[in-house]
Structure 1
């Protein structure tokens, strides 16, 4: 594990419990930047926080964080393959 990544704080609101997870994730080798994005409301209810790799973006992946009736986009810039990133998320959760 290397601590060369950074967590960007560009929003005042985040899903409850998301920041501690992202702080652990940013320490993973190969992850350079994590940026939480916009928050939206949904109809379905997810009781425990859940992170799912959504789509590739330039230089990394968009991850969807869900908890309760709220969804937040999280952008992760990384050199990791999608399966390795999913495993890193699973290990932290």
Structure 2
């Protein structure tokens, strides 16, 4: 199995970090939860994701995730900032 990387971006398009082999949970109306090990832009596994409310909502690139029928998540918010990190967003193609 190849590694799936889901990169998360700030509202300004700057990388915030990425998930490696995350799990996805689908909810009604195209909402998704992404959870798993989260790494920062220095490739370090984070202990806690500290997020700036002014930089949210985030977006996430799902182009490598074959289990999800969308290419991107928009309106992504951190639901749990400690490992395993949990974020939710709405699917967009």
Q: TM-score normalized by structure 2?
A: 0.31
Q: TM-score normalized by structure 1?
A: 0.31
